[in-house]
Structure formats: structure tokens, C-alpha cells
Structure 1
Amino acid sequence: MERRLAAVLAFDMVGYSRLMGADERGTLAAQRRHRRRLFNPRAGQYHGRIFKFTGDGALIEFASVVDSVCFAVEMQLALREENAEVPEDRQYRYRIGINIGDIIPDDGDVFGDGVNVAARLQELADPGGICLSGSAFEQVRGKLDLIFEHLGEKQVKNIAEPVTVYRVLLDDKAAALATPIAPETSAVLTSRNKAAVTVAFLLLAVAGAALWWQPWTLTQPSKQTERFAYPLPDKPSIAVLPFINVSGDTQHDHLAEGLTDDLITELSKVSGLFVIARHSVFAVQATDGKIQDVAAELGVHYVLEGTLQRATSRLRINVKLIDALTGLSLWAERYDRQYTDLFAVQDDVISKIISALAVKLSEGERDQLARIPTDNLEAYDYFLRAEQEGFLYSDVETYRRTLSYYQKAIDLDPGFADAHAGIARIAVDVWRNDYNYLWSAAVARKIAYDAAGQALKLDPNNARAHTVLALLQLVDGRGAEARDSANRAVAAQPSDAEAFGNLALILAHTGSREQAVTEMDKALRLDPSPPPSFQLLAGVVFYTAHENGRAIPLIESARDALPNVEPAREYLAAAYVDQGDQKRGEQEALELLKLFPDSNLTYYGYLYDYWRKDDLSHHLTGLRAAGVPEWPFGFKGAESDQVGGTELRSFVTDKTWTGRHKNGTEFIQYFDKAGNTAYRSANTNITGIIEVRDNRLCEKFTGYFLDRMVCGYVYRNTSQEQRDAEYVHVTPRALMYFSLGQ
């Protein structure tokens, strides 16, 4: 039995029996007139198929709910105009119901719940009115400039579950949608006319064939693109709008989002396409704009939209490629497959898009598109859940949940390269941002290297894995290798905003400021409504390139969205001061110190030791002017109280320190005679090595602070704080009060 997903419109004449009793001939004539002048041509205009005329109405199948609503509005407005001068008891009016759901074609007719619900919805409509199901409403929300009134849930005859109902208001907005019906052409042609038509057709066919090799250049008149937020790229540009889950079960939302993500990712691998990033299409979809408004906001020529419905092992997908300049559909398809055929559906959609836009693929691109990410759909499901959690500047629980999803995917399919790359992406951010509340620096660094390496072993063109490798190499001080890896990421996925953004960051930190700005501009064009984490990344790039005018608005936006993320406050403090706004710089520094009371210039000097010297000096100068102290908690020790030389060496030779941190945490630290040390507190138990360099005590704890050897000082405690402690030890990471013991 064949099934497919479709929009079904049902309508019937109001008071049909009464009208027939009063004027049988006039009623039948009105029906014929409506069919000939209204129903048939309007259905053709909106790609509808009338599959059944009943005695007093009809059932029509549409590939698009938007088309069905346009048909319904046009029909009711035309009938309203016809009835304007007719007494109410002699008016011919219809009720309309629209639903999207399963239909079963059978010998020219159509059956199924999709039809039954549409028929019940038309019974709920007012005379001359239109009612939609909830699933149909979700398809048109934001795509038509109409007002929909929510009527709640209704129990309808022979349908087990209540149906959510919306009513279309036929007001001035609806009237503005009205379009003329194309005039009918004569059915009779003379021989000369036939010849002329044949010649014209052949000429058009030849011209069309010549132009088809670059279809995106066919319609770019200035008036159509005047309102576009950006100039159209010089190659086919496309936005894949979020697929809508019409299953009626929100548990399948991640599947619809995952299909959207995968199509964006796969299309981004094609160098001949320009593909808008995920966050921007989800953000613009939330503004409820029409297709052409969405395209104008994103600056793209084409838009792909679709729906997804999962029922047990079945998957139904509707998809349509729209030319946003003309509003016409270039290609549409329905898929009714087993869930196990999901990747085959994706492949078909991608190939149809590439074919419709006449994009030429390189051999490498063909190979990449032919790759199946995993043949284990349960693993794929966990991967989709991980991707929707996010990974940049997340809280600990979100990180852990995301990691658990990636790991479950790997457990089910160890060869799933994208899942390994996902773990690597989290690990590298934990490491380079010194988030040791999740992993120690050494552990995070090793996980990042290992996971990225495994991903590239499985898929040498995995863009995210190359990006992770680039970030690792940058922080390790291997700038040339970092550039190479970042460029490989861009080559693997030429429309990936993340790849371009990270390339820009690496270029900025290795001295190529102008090129960094160029690459970040490309990233922001691909992702014009980026998430806060990406806004912060872009702001850092512009700040490093000394373009504060562009950096500050981006970092401000990131700060407002992520108020507890320290780097946003840090960079704003320095950028404001550099721009001459001392007051705002000082305010951001105060907020930074509230979030991270240990903030100090010595810490940042070690954390960013892979930066170029002039960039680091510039940053520290700005932070110092904003009020960030040299040492934790603004500690300033008097030189006369400093312990150094032989005395300091005696403090760290076969000695034990006991005391408290500034925050009250108790600790004990032991030093042996060979330069080894062991530190213990309620939450930490670590070992490391020490050196005395002049009057500085330098320590390195494996797995902490990027495995850097960091240096501090020891002073006699002459302050009023923790007066039972004899000494103060200040390091870039802590302020500790202690006394000596054996």
C-alpha cells in the first residue's frame, strides 16, 4: 500500500440542500461556473490536484500547505466579491478545511487520515471561512502575511485524538495576497499560429539550454535584489530552512533539526555553492518571515524548505527548492521511506539540488558526498542530540551531557568520525580556556589530540577535526602548522563559517591581521546571525587586528547573551580603554573581577604566552589601564618582606607548608629534596616539580594551567589577614597564606 505525506484541502457548499430546493438549475449553474472560473484555474495556479468532486464540494491535494492556503484565501475572497450584491439567502458560500497528513492513493482516489481530518475541519469552518489543523499551521507560520486565530483543540467525528484548530482571518492582509488568474488561451490555433508557436518554443528551448548552465544568473534584476541585506554571491547561494517536524511528537524534533544540519554540512562541502550556516537559518526562521523575506535577510537566491514525519519505522519527508527571486519552485519531492533509508534520502536531496543549480563537482567532492557518516542509526541519533546541545562556553552539565551523547555514538560505531571530532572540539576548548573543572589541562589536551587524530584517520577531510588540530598547534606555539591545518579545514568545507572563523583567529595571532579580517568577513557572511560564542570569536579577531569599532559591538552582544563568560568582560575592558572609553573599561574590569576574583595580569601573561609579543603587550596594557591587578586579589608585596635566595631554597627543601588560600580553602604542600612537590586540599591532590629562579618560586603541576611552569613570590605576612600565617605565597593562580613545618 503506497502512502505519502500531502496537504489536503476539503471544501463544500454551505446550505447545499436548501439552495437546490430553492433553485436547482441556478445552483448547478453556479457550481459549474465556480469549477470553470475559480476552482480549476486556481488549483492549477497553486499546483493542486482535484482528486474528487463531491455533490457539494471537492477534495484537492497540494504538495505544499502554503499553496493550499493561498488557494483557499483566493477562493474565498473571489466568492466574497461575487456575493457582495446578492441577498444573503441566495449567496453561494463554501467552508474550507486544510490538513497535512498521510494519504493513500487508490485508483485515482485518495484516502487516509489526512483526508478525514481535512473533511472534519471544513465542518468547523464558518460559512466563507478557512480552518487549518495545527500541523498545517506550523507549515505556514511565518511564510504568509496572514493572521491566524487559535481555536483550541476540538474533538471531531471518527478521529480518536483531539485536533488543534486555527482559523484564517480574511482581512486586509488576506486581500493583499490576491493575484490575478492568467487569462485562458483559445483552444483553436491556425496553421500559421501553430508554426509560430513551434518556432518560438524551439527558440526558447535553445536559449534555455544555453542559460541552464548558470541558472542562478537568469533572474537578478536590480529591483528584486534592492531589498537584499547583502549582494548575492557570484555562485549559487542557498539557505536550508529548518525542517518542520509534523509527527505530532516533539521527541522527533532533533531528527528534523539533524536532517537540516546534515544537509547544510554536506552542501557546505561543495565549493560551487554558497551555503548559509545553521544558526543563522534557525534564527531567521524564528522571525516568522516569508520565504522571500528570509532570502532577502540572508542574501541568498535559493531556499530549501521541508517537513519530516516519523511514524514507527516509516519516514516521510517533503522537500522543495524555491527560487526566492521569482517565488517559483524549481524542484519538489516527496519521500515515503523506511527510517533506515534516511541517508539515501539526504543523498537524493543533495544530488537534486546540485543538478537543479547545475553545479559541477570535483572528484574529491563527489567522494566526500558519497561518504555515509555511520551505518548505525542509533549512533547517528545520539550524534544529533549532541550537536543540538552546543559546546562553546557551556556549563559543566551541558558539556557532560554532550560528551555522553558523542561517546554513546562512538560506543555503537567506533568508526563514526564526526562523533570523534565532536569530542575533540569540546576538549580543545576546555584546554585552551583553562576550564579544569571538567578535565585537567593535560587530560583535555590529550583527549583533543587523540580524538581529532582518530577522526582524521577515519575521514582525512573532516573539517572540524582539522580545526581542532589547528587550535592545538596554535596554543602549542606551532603557528605555521596551525595555519596549514586551518586552511585544510576551509578546503574540506568551503561554506563552513566555523572553519573560516578559526582560520581568522589563527591568522590574527600569527601576524596576518588584514587577511584575518578578510577571512572573518567571509565567516560572518556565511553566518550573518551568528550565535553568541561565534560573535565573541569574531570580536576577538577584530580586537586582535586593532579594529575596535567592529570588535566592540560583537563582544557586547556576546556579553549580553553570556553574562557569566569571563573572556567577554576581559576583552571588552581592554577594548574600551584602547578606544578611549576609560569609564566603561573600568566597569567591565570590575565585572570581570566579580566573576573571576583571581583575575590578574600575570595569569593572562602565562595563559596567552603563544600570542605575538606586541599583541600580548597591547592586551595587558589595556587590562592594566582598566584596573586589572598584577597579581590575584590585587596583592602587592613589599620588597623588604620578600623571601629569596638561600632562604627561599630552604623553604622548599624537605619542608611542609600548611595554611589557607585567600578564599579560606585549607591546604598542605610538601617539598622534597629533589625538587618535587605534592599539594593537597579538600578538592585537589596533585604532584609537580619546582625550581627557584632568583627570588621566584616556579612550579609546574602536570595537567594544570596548560602544563606551564609558572612563577611567583614568597613574602613575610605583615598584613592584617590570616595573622596566624607566617608567610604569603602569590602565584598567577592563587594567593596562599602558610606557615612552615617539618
Structure 2
Amino acid sequence: MDRRLTAILSVDVVGYSRIMGEDEVGTLERLKACRLEVVDPAIDRFHGRIIKLMGDGALVEFASVVDAIQCAADIQRTMASRDQGLSATQRMLFRMGVNLGDIIAEGDDIYGDGVNIAARLQGIAQPGGICISGTAFDQVVHKVDVGFSALGEQHLKNIADPVRVYRVLLAPSEARKVVAAARRPKQLAIILATFAMLLITAIVFAWKWPFAPQRTSIAVLPFANLSGDPAEDYFTDGITDDLITDLASLSDLEVAARNSVFGYKGNAVATADIGRDLGVRLVVEGSVRRTGDQVRVNVQLIDIASGDHLWAKRFDRAAADVFVLQDEMSRQIAEALGLELTRSETERIARPPTANLEAYDNYLRAEQATRTGRPSQLLEALALFDKAEALDPGFAEAFAADARTTAYVWRNAFDDVLQSALARRRAYDKASRALALDPDLSSPYAVLAVIQVVERRYEEAIASARQAVSRGSADAEAQMAVAYVQLFSGNLAEAAASVENALKLDPNLSAVDRYTAGLISYLQRDYTKAMENFARARDGSPGNGYFVTPLAMAYVRAGRRHDAGAAVAEGIRLLGGRESAESLAGWRMSHAHFRNEQDLAFILDALREAGMPEWPFGFRGDAHDRLNGDEIASTVMGKLLQGKTEPSGSPALMQVDRDGKAAFRSATQMMTETVFVKGDLLCEQSENAFGQADCGPVYKRASSSDETGYAYVNSSKVFYFSPMN
């Protein structure tokens, strides 16, 4: 990964979905012809590099901003005279944006605000037009055969600071002209300033006035599956999810988070109780029946205080029209609430996540499998996401959900689902792809933030987490990404504030997020709140030992030694064959990305006091039998080590070359790595274990029944072995 300053051209086809709907085959043929005859030759001529093709658009990088703007102008001038025989509604027009900015590059992919600004500029350009940033203008003014019209500073969506924007003038008569932004007369400026002061005063007064209007709060309860087949739950949940997403995108609504409402699935709870629990005024209830090729959805809007049904509707559609159904349902609920949607909100609701129903079906099935949290289901989810993405390479939400699921696998070291190194690479690639397809998505930034903080790239992680929040301020997942990043970066106050923000959006945080909240409270020495959060994490994932043992550290600090010991013992019991993680060495590895070493020490000291073993499987070595660094090197380096691993006693081999290149193989694991001696420890380092060196001592075995003369232990294994040569 590296940073560089580059020129980015973002291109998009105007009204692509509409003209595709009118003539799918013809539109695709015209788009291919435009690329082959106009776009690609111009990019080659001006030395551009296509980063991504996104169905109806493209992202292109140039070493020179002059080349970028000349390329854009050349394409737009050619397109202006093309397709003259077609109607105005069928003609293919491009919008373009050009920015000169800092980008982050990894492999062939780029992302960051430099890219996002180019996409935003493209979005505000006129059909057939080009908008460029002030940074690009400063470098090209008077150097290209176009003119420029200043549009002043513009507030671009999800971009923190205003951006100077210029419209490119393509007419030959306007070449090299620069038209300044219109200035208002001084008297008008004074009047406007006075009016602004009055307006601010009125706003402040209204804010303080107890009856000032507030945003409408609403919860969409899980729709009931009336299909008579529990296997159809995934489809019904998908209808609910999409309605939550659509309504949450409206600026005048506060919508309860998915986790909060799905806690009521299958439970008979009075709407008044739901309103009190979630703090909402209105609820949406509904049911879905899919029979053959038909879908029927019944939905009603209820005022919690009065119990009145404010609006109700039945939708009958062909299954192929499910996206039309969702669009109509969202718009009609908004109308029933008296909301006036902006143009962008209307377009956002009307925009389907994919036009491919089979891809959508695989995506919904994958999401259902992901929510179980079970390794076997996670493996199935990843395969289903792959199918959805193959069917529609432009399905941004599928890539984003894939990245989130893969990051969960990676973060929890589920190597039986996907090895750590592969999971990290997949999560990063899928998140980057999702952002290229839709820069407005928040969850890919949350995924990148988690990856970056684990890799100790703290400032990058904080920046990515903030990007997630800027795109999803009402997204609890984005808020918890900030909390996680700030926790491990050592900024506990900021982490705690983000948890509070998340809880306002979603009182029923996931087990993983409750665990994060518990760690923050613990390090802030609020042990009562820490115990509460750890207990909710345990209860939110029943039978999962990983969420039982954290209670031990809080119990120790609260003086509850007996409870602390019981929590450690129960966690190890629940993990069964995977209890290797429940050792101090395992915790030290999985939490090694704490920026402040004293934070990790404060956790480990309490767990040690609670009785957690130092090494996996309860291994204990005698200090008299421990080898020093020179003895380890002579015993291990350049040797074939043959033996067995705990707890199964299955055969294992480790081949170590003299230069440290090594391979380890057992019945359950095969990996290549580097082996080296550090002090009096033997270390293994591979792409797994987040790329960290996993080190531990080597002991000579005074006596053994299996003829293995040595024992090597680290955070993940106990290996009894003898050198063969």
C-alpha cells in the first residue's frame, strides 16, 4: 500500500438504468461501441490507466492532470456529435469529474478522498459536461484548449470540507477563457448577512423551545413469513432489511437499527413495549407470502401511542418485480408520514441493489447464513457471496457484505473457514471493490478500519473509521468501528463516546460489539459497566466460550475471585478442542495491536489472577529443562522435527532449513513460514496470526513414553518432537 498524488477521471453514463430499461440489448451494444471507438482510444492517447469499469461508468488514473482534462474534453466533444439519429431519450451522454488529489493505492486498486471527490464532481456535472476541482484547475488553467466557469465552493456529499469547483467550457470560442463566479452587490450581501443572523436566532430559539419539531422515529419490525416454509425466512428478512435501509436513507427519519428490531422476531411483544424499548413513535409491521412466481406483501404503519393504523396496503407482484414492490412500499410509507423526498432520496430508493434476481437471492441467503455466526454457515455464506458477485459484478452491496463477513472470519481467527492471510486479503479486496462501485457505502470503510488497526496502522485506521461514520452517521456498525479503532489506538474517551452513539442507534448491539464496549469500560476502570457489557456479549452468543472468559478480568478487579475462576473454567470447557485460544499466550497474540502496552498488561494481569493458564492445553514446563537460545538453534535449525501435537496426539512434522524457511504439517494444518530464534524463544512467523511472530520456549523432556525428546509451545500449539537429522 502506498500514497501518491494523481489525477483521477470519473465517468458515468447519464440515465443508464432508464435507457437500459427501454432497450437493454441496444444500450449494451452502443455502450460497447462507445468504449471501443471513443473512450478507450482517447484514454490510450492521453496515457491514462483504467482502474475500474463499473457497468455504466469508469475510473481512470492519469500521471498528468493536463492529460486527464484533455482526454475528458476529447471524449465529450466526440460524443456530442454521436448518435445523432437517435431520440434525445436514447442518446448516450456522459458526466465526468476530474480531481487532482492524494490517493491510497494497493495493487491495482485506489481509494480515498482523492477518488471520492472525482466521483462527486462527476455527479454534479451536466449531461455531456465536465466538472473539475480547484486543485486540478490550478494546474491546467491556460494549458489546455478549453475554458472554465467558476462555480465557487461546493459542499459535496460525504466530503468534509467545501471544494472549489469549475465547469469545463468545451466550445472552441470559449477556449482559454476563465469566467469568474458571479458576485452579489454589496447591499445584497449586507441584507443576506442580516437575514442569516435573524435566521440563526430563530433556529436557536426554536431549538431551545420545548415544542420544536423533531425527526420522526420509527421501527420496522421483522415481517412475518406466511409462505408456510421456514426456508423462505431469508427472503422475508431481506424485504425487511431493504425497507430499513431505504427509510434510514431519508434525512427526516430516525430508524431503529436492524439488530434492535430483529430481537423481536418470533416474539409476541406489545407495540407499546416495543416503542418504550426502542424509543420510537411509529412501527411498521408486515407479512410476506411468496408462492411460485408471485409475492404478496401486507404492510401497515402504526402509531404506538394511540394504537391507530395510520396506513395499510397490500402489494401483489410477480417475484421478478420485487424491486418495484420495494420501491413502491418505501415511497408510500414516506408519503403516509408526510415526508417530501428530495430528488436524490427518490433516486436512492428507486435504485435497485442489482438487476439480477438470482444474484439478489444468493445475497439474501448469504446474509442469513452470516447472521448465525457458525463457522460452517460462514463458509456457506462466502460461497453464496461469490455466486452473487459472479452473476452481477456491479452488485456493490454484495461485495460490502462479503467484506464484512470475511473480516469477521479473519478477526476471530476462524482458520477452519478461511486461513488468516487469505481472509485478510479477501476482506480488503472486497471492501475496495464495494467502494469503487458505490463510494457512499459506509461498511467497507469500517472493514478497512478494523484491518488497519490490527496491522498497527493507527492513523489510517482512525481516518477510515471516520469515513465510515461520515457516510453512515446513523449506522451503529460505523460507530462501533470507530470505537474499536479508538480503543486499540489508546483513545478511550473517544471510544466510549462512539459506543454511546452506537447504543442510541442500536440498543441491542451484537456480541462482538458488546465485547468491545466491555473492554473500553474495563480499561476506564468502570468494572460494573464492563461486567454488564461482557455479560450481554455472553448472552448474545450462547455457548461461545470466547465471550465467557472476558467476564473473568472484570470479576477480578471487582474482588469476585471465585466468579473469575469459574468464568475461565467455563470458557475453556465451552471451547472444547479449541481451548488453545484461552491461554495468556493466545490473548497476548490476539490483542497484540494495543498501541499502549500497559492496556494489554492490565488485561493479562487480571486473567492470570483469575487462573487462566500461561500456555494452551494447560502445558507447564520445568525451568530446569528449558533450552537457551543457542541450544534451541542447534536442536531445531536445519532439522526435520517429527512428533505429535496436543490435544489429539496426531502426527506432525516441521521441516526447518538453515536459513529459517520452514513448513509445518499436521492432520489439521499445513503452512509455510519462517522460523527463527529470538532470545531464548523459538518463533514462527507466517501470513497467519495477523502476520505476527508467534514465539515460545523449548523444553527437553526428561522422560517420555513416545520417544519425543523435546516440547515446543506457543500461543497456538504444543508440539512434542525429536530432530531426525
SS of structure 2 residue aligned to 1:680: strand
- Which residue of structure 2 lines up, in the alignment, with residue 326 of structure 1? 306
TM-score for both structures, normalised by structure 1: 0.64
SS of structure 2 residue aligned to 1:438: coil
Where do residues 187-266 of structure 1 align in structure 2 (5 Å cutoff)?
Answer: 234-266=214-246
Contact 1:391 1:426 in 2 (8 A): no
Change (3 A) 1:239 1:666: same
Change (3 A) 1:729 1:583: same
CA distance in 2, matches of 1:701, 1:738: 21
Structure 1 position 437, deviation (Å) = 1.3
CA distance in 2, matches of 1:699, 1:221: 64
Contact 1:572 1:585 in 2 (8 A): yes
CA distance in 1, matches of 2:333, 2:420: 44
Contact 1:272 1:360 in 2 (8 A): no
Contact 2:366 2:385 in 1 (8 A): yes
SS of structure 1 residue aligned to 2:432: helix
Structure 1 position 332, deviation (Å) = 3.3
- Which residue of structure 2 lines up, in the alignment, with residue 49 of structure 1? none
Matching residue's letter, 2:313 = E
Contact 2:496 2:517 in 1 (8 A): no
- Which residue of structure 1 lines up, in the alignment, with residue 320 of structure 2? 340
- Which residue of structure 1 lines up, in the alignment, with residue 609 of structure 2? 625
CA distance in 1, matches of 2:706, 2:315: 76
TM-score for both structures, normalised by structure 2: 0.66
Contact 1:642 1:714 in 2 (8 A): yes
- Alpha-carbon deviations, 1:218-241, whole Å to 9, x = none? xx999xxxxxxxxx9942110012
CA distance in 2, matches of 1:457, 1:511: 31
Matching residue's letter, 1:677 = A
CA distance in 2, matches of 1:638, 1:571: 29
Contact 1:711 1:731 in 2 (8 A): yes
Where do residues 103-142 of structure 1 align in structure 2 (5 Å cutoff)?
Answer: none
Contact 1:714 1:729 in 2 (8 A): yes
- Alpha-carbon deviations, 1:532-561, whole Å to 9, x = none? 454444434433443321232332243245
- Which residue of structure 2 lines up, in the alignment, with residue 204 of structure 1? none
Aligned pair count reads 513
Change (3 A) 1:672 1:278: same
Q: 2:657 aligns with which of 672, 677, 684?
A: 672
Higher mean alpha-carbon deviation, 530-539 vs 680-689, is at: 530-539
CA distance in 2, matches of 1:379, 1:309: 20
- Alpha-carbon deviations, 1:250-273, whole Å to 9, x = none? 554332221111111222233432
- Which residue of structure 2 lines up, in the alignment, with residue 308 of structure 1? 288
- Which residue of structure 2 lines up, in the alignment, with residue 289 of structure 1? 269
- Which residue of structure 2 lines up, in the alignment, with residue 7 of structure 1? none
Structure 1 position 668, deviation (Å) = 1.8
Change (3 A) 1:625 1:323: same
Structure 1 position 584, deviation (Å) = 0.7
CA distance in 2, matches of 1:525, 1:657: 55
Structure 1 position 629, deviation (Å) = 2.2
SS of structure 2 residue aligned to 1:643: coil
Higher mean alpha-carbon deviation, 356-365 vs 319-328, is at: 356-365
SS of structure 1 residue aligned to 2:447: helix
- Which residue of structure 1 lines up, in the alignment, with residue 113 of structure 2? none
Contact 1:268 1:493 in 2 (8 A): no
Matching residue's letter, 2:710 = Y
- State whether structure 2 residue 443 is matched by structure 1 residue 464: yes
CA distance in 2, matches of 1:563, 1:329: 37
Matching residue's letter, 1:694 = G
- Which residue of structure 2 lines up, in the alignment, with residue 116 of structure 1? none
Contact 1:441 1:705 in 2 (8 A): yes
Two-structure CA RMSD over aligned residues (Å):
2.9
Contact 2:640 2:653 in 1 (8 A): yes
Structure 1 position 723, deviation (Å) = 6.0
Matching residue's letter, 2:719 = M
Runs of 5+ consecutive residues of structure 2 not aligned to the other structure: 1-202
- Alpha-carbon deviations, 1:498-525, whole Å to 9, x = none? 2222322222222332332232223223
- State whether structure 2 residue 632 is matched by structure 1 residue 653: no
- State whether structure 2 residue 631 is matched by structure 1 residue 685: no
Q: 2:532 aligns with which of 553, 560, 563?
A: 553
Structure 1 position 345, deviation (Å) = 2.6
- Which residue of structure 1 lines up, in the alignment, with residue 567 of structure 2? 588
Higher mean alpha-carbon deviation, 291-300 vs 611-620, is at: 291-300
Structure 1 position 651, deviation (Å) = 2.0
- Alpha-carbon deviations, 1:598-644, whole Å to 9, x = none? 33222322221111312111111111111112223444434443322
- Alpha-carbon deviations, 1:105-132, whole Å to 9, x = none? xxxxxxxxxxxxxxxxxxxxxxxxxxxx
Structure 1 position 687, deviation (Å) = 1.8
Matching residue's letter, 2:399 = H
Change (3 A) 1:532 1:649: closer
CA distance in 1, matches of 2:344, 2:522: 37
Matching residue's letter, 1:730 = V
CA distance in 1, matches of 2:518, 2:217: 26
- Which residue of structure 2 lines up, in the alignment, with residue 475 of structure 1? 454
- State whether structure 2 residue 434 is matched by structure 1 residue 455: yes
How much identity, in percent, do the aligned residues show? 37
- State whether structure 2 residue 695 is matched by structure 1 residue 694: no
Matching residue's letter, 1:478 = R
CA distance in 1, matches of 2:701, 2:686: 25
Contact 2:545 2:572 in 1 (8 A): no
Q: 1:442 aligns with which of 407, 415, 421?
A: 421
- State whether structure 2 residue 394 is matched by structure 1 residue 410: no
Change (3 A) 1:347 1:603: same
Change (3 A) 1:740 1:468: same
CA distance in 1, matches of 2:315, 2:385: 29
- Which residue of structure 1 lines up, in the alignment, with residue 357 of structure 2? 377
SS of structure 2 residue aligned to 1:637: coil
Contact 2:636 2:723 in 1 (8 A): no
Contact 1:233 1:274 in 2 (8 A): no
Q: 2:621 aligns with which of 637, 644, 649?
A: 637
SS of structure 1 residue aligned to 2:632: helix
- Which residue of structure 2 lines up, in the alignment, with residue 387 of structure 1? 367
- State whether structure 2 residue 382 is matched by structure 1 residue 398: no
SS of structure 1 residue aligned to 2:697: strand
Change (3 A) 1:693 1:507: closer
Matching residue's letter, 2:535 = E
- Alpha-carbon deviations, 1:347-377, whole Å to 9, x = none? 2332333344455667765554443210011
CA distance in 2, matches of 1:641, 1:650: 16
- State whether structure 2 residue 697 is matched by structure 1 residue 713: yes
Q: 1:426 aligns with which of 394, 397, 405?
A: 405
CA distance in 1, matches of 2:264, 2:449: 31
Change (3 A) 1:688 1:525: same
- Which residue of structure 2 lines up, in the alignment, with residue 575 of structure 1? 554
CA distance in 2, matches of 1:363, 1:554: 42
SS of structure 1 residue aligned to 2:431: helix
Structure 1 position 646, deviation (Å) = 3.3
Higher RCO structure (Cα 8 Å, ≥6 apart): 1
CA distance in 1, matches of 2:213, 2:498: 15
- Which residue of structure 2 lines up, in the alignment, with residue 79 of structure 1? none
SS of structure 2 residue aligned to 1:615: helix
Q: Find the structure with the greater CA-based Rg.
A: 1
Contact 1:386 1:402 in 2 (8 A): yes
SS of structure 2 residue aligned to 1:284: coil
Change (3 A) 1:673 1:335: same
Contact 1:238 1:303 in 2 (8 A): yes
Contact 2:510 2:540 in 1 (8 A): no
Contact 1:569 1:588 in 2 (8 A): yes
- Which residue of structure 1 lines up, in the alignment, with residue 174 of structure 2? none
